[in-house]
Amino acid sequence: MRFTDDQQKTGQWIRTLSAQSYRGWKAFYHTKEWRAKRKEILDRDHSQCQRCRARGRYTMAVTVHHIKHLKDAPELALSDSNLQSLCEACHNEVHPEKQYTPNSFRNEEKW
């Protein structure tokens, strides 16, 4: 994947930040840059969950999700196209790695 100069700089900044902070990758979520961007994305999406909206439902978004995860592509941490407002249920769905119970869809796919 190719990144713009700004994205490269963001990636560098976040890698340094997380290496130097006791919070690790979570340090990013405490920066004023993220807080400002998060608000901007929630405004853009009218504080509605974008996955629910795609299914014709209107649910209040509580989180702004990185489509390409922060650890995988810190360069895209502040890029609008990589950010999506989601409700808690949808956010859990897009992060199966965070779920405690095995993902039945994945099992079906496997067998």
Binding site for Zn ion (CB under 5 A): 49, 51-52, 59, 65, 87, 90
Q: What is the DSSP-derived secondary structure letter of residue 2?
A: -
Our CB check for Zn ion shows the closer of 20 and 29 to be 29
Our CB check for Zn ion shows the closer of 2 and 55 to be 55
Contact assessment for residue 59 and residue 48, using Cβ atoms and an 8 Å cutoff: yes
How far does Cα 63 stand from its chain's mean position?
8
Our CB check for Zn ion shows the closer of 9 and 95 to be 95
Closest CA to 25 of 94, 71, 72, 65: 71
Q: How far is the CB of 111 from Zn ion (least distance, A)?
A: 28
Q: How far is the CB of 11 from Zn ion (least distance, A)?
A: 18
